[in-house]
Amino acid sequence: MTRDPRFDILFEPVKIGPVTAKNRFYQVPHCNGSGYRYPHTQAAMRGIKAEGGWAVVCTEWCTVHPSADTTPTASARLWTDEDVRTNALMTEAVHRHGALAGCELAHAGLYGHNSYTRIPTMGPSPRPMQPRDFPAQGRAMDKSDIRDLRRWHRRGVRRAIEAGFDIVYVYVGHSLTVFTDFLSPRINQRSDEYGGGIENRVRLLREVLEETREEADGSCAVAIRFCVDEQYGPDAMTAEDGRAVVEMLAEIPDLWDVNVGGFDDMLGSRFRKEGWEEPGIAFVKSLTTKPVVGVGRFTSPDTMVSMIKRGVLDLIGAARPSIADPFLPRKIEEGRAEDIRECIGCNICLASNSLTVPIRCTQNPTMSEEWRRGWHPETMPEKGSDARVLVVGAGPAGLEAARAAGQRGYQVALAEAGRELGGHLNAVCRLPGLAEWIRVRDWRVGQIAKLPNVTVYRESALTAEHVREFGFEHVIVATGASWRRDGVGARNFRPVQGHAQDHVLTPDDVLAGAEVRSPVVIFDDDTYVMGGCLAEKLAGEGHDVTIVTPFPQVSSWTLYTLDLAEIQRRLVASGVAVLANHNLAAISENAVEVTGVWGEPARRLKASSVILVTMRSPNETLYRDLVGDAGANAAAGIESVRAVGDCLAPALLSEAVFGGHEAARALDGPDVADQPFRIEQVPASFEPPLPWADS
């Protein structure tokens, strides 16, 4: 297929100082949970992006000195000459496919815990450290600290060039670095020439930017990543300050990489839609002749074209869209934009990074598996036999299993009990803000429709007898899970007294349209999005809603997806009453009894409907019936039966997709039980000897 001419503009080269991007697709720096700890994992992942057509592929933030230690997050670093080698793994992987490699040099300032290096954290003024989860204060930098910082940054530039990077950044984004600390008046309270008015607060940034140019000396481009408006209120760096900074530094860098909103830049699709940053960043191009890149979780080529044609951006920046589909540019170039696996904005990638593990992606099960499992996002090994595959259940796990087995060339039958494909997602995506999640279903249904060897059977609820009648060699059971209705979950190990009443509902009931009567009490023992979303939905329908949770906050796990604060704001704005740190003790006809987890006395809350969001039970009857009679299976010619997704172990959507994908790869794969993936080893070395060792 050939490219649609209306997308030609996306494939024009763009000059960035001394280097040229071959097209306008730019993978902006993004965290990936691998960093210096798993350099091969990171290098292979970035290399795949280059193969997928991104003209520029960047690191995540890459700290220049041990005083900017981001442990426990394993971000990139260039602290030593040895670090040059690990970074070179990435530049080599990126260059192999004709892309430019960018390095986001950074000093974490007050954001660096320094919990590994134990160096006192420093910033412009003595302040509590930025992530308030660490009870320590940073010290104020004096003039010699500023000189040191400039020297370290310069050395970082030299090392980045040595590692082979084509673009070197000064990172001033996301309210994360020493330069944002200096720019932000709420943090910079200095009275010397580095504090006060914006022309003073920008001084350090200007010095470092100029020195980076000097050090680069035309051998690589110099980029600035700049948050033009923190959106943290009048005490923070405002849009007015941001504009002044762009005016003052306009022509110094070779590229402006801009965004707004501090950390909110990364909020999920529940709260931010494609292109939401445009109003905040659109002014930048009018103040500089240098190319401008910006993000907005762009997945639509038409939106991208519009951003270029309307003069908002020169390069289409992407982090999450490039994770969900590393081959996004190639698909547009090859005239198959409908094959793009669009990011759903669930932020499970960010959660993995927050949890310091290699990022995973709900849409792209191969993310971070390129090196350790040898998985490619676009190609799969051809089928290993002519065996036929039956997949039961067309939720996310079953759809992915059928799609991937079909891609491998197997004859696949996908049987679904209902009329609609998509499983639990069909209802979940109707919750407030979660509409984009349906892309998980839609992409897979679209791909399956292109595979003549995959046949879909709707309204086909199968029993073990049916499955044996079919006699397919491989059976993948993906029959999902159902919410428990007895209150058992993380907090309660036994059924909650009074649970067996008509007004006690589960999320499945509510999503299926069960009648809900006010006042409603939701018991959220799940920590993810369901409890909060149901509360917001019901409050929006006019119900009087109280949400009770044994945790300090509703949807507490979304701390890792970065959505937690916005969820609390939404609940307050929707008029939902929140009772944290309380467990559900008993349910009566028109009330619930709750007890405080720290010993507060029991309380009664009126409740005409009670919704239990606790845990899910696998729908495993079919699987158990099948594995329970190996003789009957053998007689029917069945060689393997496997449960995947929520039917095996209810978990995040990302794990259902991953499970389906893995099952398709494992149909004829090697037995990997003892060594499921390659493990990155740190070479053991006892040089130099310990000071107390015998000489």
* Residues classed as catalytic: 31, 171, 174, 265
> Would you state the structure tokens that stand for residue 110, as one six-digit string?
């007050």
Cα–Cα distance between 529 and 408 in angstroms, integer?
34
**Residue 528: C-alpha distances to residues 289, 522, 525 (Å):** 45, 14, 9
Binding mask 319-338 for ligand SF4 (x = CB under 6 A): -x--xx--------------
392 binds ligand SF4 (CB under 6 A): no
363 binds ligand SF4 (CB under 6 A): yes
507 binds ligand ADP (CB under 6 A): no
48 binds ligand SF4 (CB under 6 A): no
Kindly determine how many residues on this chain lie close enough to bind ligand SF4 according to the rule CB under 6 A: 13
Q: What is the closest distance, in whole angstroms, from the C-beta atom of residue 555 to ligand ADP in the complex? A: 19
> Would you state the structure tokens that stand for residue 109, as one six-digit string?
């300032």
- For 548-651, where are the alpha helices, taking DSSP H only? 564-573, 621-627, 630-635
Binding mask 302-341 for ligand ADP (x = CB under 6 A): ----------------------------------------
The stretch among 110-118, 258-266, 455-463, 494-502 that binds ligand ADP (CB under 6 A) is 455-463
**Interface pick for ligand SF4 out of 187, 198, 346, 584 (rule CB under 6 A):** 346
395 binds ligand ADP (CB under 6 A): yes
Cα–Cα distance between 118 and 120 in angstroms, integer?
6
Interaction residues for ligand ADP, span 460-499 (CB under 6 A): 460-462, 478-481
Placement of tokens 């003069």 in the chain: 311
> Would you state the structure tokens that stand for residue 80, as one six-digit string?
């030593």
Q: What is the closest distance, in whole angstroms, from the C-beta atom of residue 431 to ligand ADP in the complex? A: 14
Q: What is the closest distance, in whole angstroms, from the C-beta atom of residue 361 to ligand SF4 in the complex? A: 3
Question: Which among ligand ADP, ligand SF4, none contacts residue 347 (Cβ within 5 to 8 A by kind)?
Answer: ligand SF4
Q: At what angle do helices 203-216 and 143-162 cross, to 10 degrees?
A: 30
416 binds ligand ADP (CB under 6 A): yes
**Residue (418 or 471) nearer to ligand ADP, CB:** 418
Which H/E stretch holds residue 139?
Answer: strand 137-140
Placement of tokens 């349906």 in the chain: 438
Cβ-proximal residues to 616 (8 Å cutoff; 6+ apart), any chain: 481, 482, 483, 484, 646, 650
Cα–Cα distance between 411 and 230 in angstroms, integer?
53
For 421: left if phi > 0, alpha if psi spans -120 to 50, otherwise beta; the answer is: beta
Q: Helix, strand, or coil here: 210?
A: helix
**Residue (253 or 321) nearer to ligand SF4, CB:** 321
The stretch among 243-251, 363-371, 382-390, 419-427 that binds ligand ADP (CB under 6 A) is 419-427
**Interface pick for ligand ADP out of 646, 662, 665, 667 (rule CB under 6 A):** 646
The stretch among 80-88, 100-108, 182-190, 355-363 that binds ligand SF4 (CB under 6 A) is 355-363
Cα–Cα distance between 363 and 361 in angstroms, integer?
5
Q: What is the closest distance, in whole angstroms, from the C-beta atom of residue 644 to ligand ADP in the complex? A: 7
Q: Helix, strand, or coil here: 429?
A: coil
358 binds ligand SF4 (CB under 6 A): no
Nearest 5°: phi and psi at 643? -95, 140
Q: What is the closest distance, in whole angstroms, from the C-beta atom of residue 268 to ligand SF4 in the complex? A: 6
Q: Per-residue b/e over 228-261, b at no fewer than 16 CB within 10 Å?
A: bbbbbeeebbbeebbbbbbeebeebbbbbbbbbb
361 binds ligand SF4 (CB under 6 A): yes
**Residue (37 or 665) nearer to ligand ADP, CB:** 665
> Would you state the structure tokens that stand for residue 509, as one six-digit string?
């009931």
280 binds ligand ADP (CB under 6 A): no
The stretch among 164-172, 339-347, 408-416, 423-431 that binds ligand SF4 (CB under 6 A) is 339-347
Placement of tokens 């289409």 in the chain: 316
The stretch among 156-164, 347-355, 401-409, 444-452 that binds ligand SF4 (CB under 6 A) is 347-355
Q: 490 and 654 in contact (C-beta within 8 Å)? A: no
**Interface pick for ligand ADP out of 21, 58, 332, 622 (rule CB under 6 A):** 622
DSSP 8-state class, residue 497: B
Kindly determine how many residues on this chain lie close enough to bind ligand ADP according to the rule CB under 6 A: 27
269 binds ligand ADP (CB under 6 A): no
DSSP string, 324-358: H-TTHHHHHHTT-GGG--------HHHHHHHTTS-
656 binds ligand SF4 (CB under 6 A): no
**Interface pick for ligand SF4 out of 50, 172, 227, 349 (rule CB under 6 A):** 349
**Residue (328 or 412) nearer to ligand ADP, CB:** 412
**Residue (333 or 416) nearer to ligand ADP, CB:** 416
Length of the chain: 695
**Residue (370 or 416) nearer to ligand ADP, CB:** 416
Residue 310: CB atoms within 10 Å: 11
**Residue (463 or 590) nearer to ligand ADP, CB:** 463
The stretch among 122-130, 198-206, 248-256, 459-467 that binds ligand ADP (CB under 6 A) is 459-467
Q: Shortest CA distance to 156 belongs to which of 88, 208, 90, 79?
A: 79
285 binds ligand SF4 (CB under 6 A): no
242 binds ligand SF4 (CB under 6 A): no
Cα–Cα distance between 288 and 282 in angstroms, integer?
12
Q: What is the closest distance, in whole angstroms, from the C-beta atom of residue 355 to ligand SF4 in the complex? A: 13
**Residue 63: C-alpha distances to residues 153, 317, 419 (Å):** 9, 22, 52
Q: Shortest CA distance to 641 belongs to which of 651, 653, 628, 658?
A: 628
**Interface pick for ligand ADP out of 129, 216, 397, 431 (rule CB under 6 A):** 397
Q: 316 and 308 in contact (C-beta within 8 Å)? A: yes
| Binding interface with ligand ADP (CB under 6 A) | 392-398, 415-418, 423-425, 460-462, 478-481, 619, 622, 645-647, 656
Query: Which residues would be at the binding site for ligand SF4 (CB under 6 A)?
Result: 320, 323-324, 343-349, 361-363
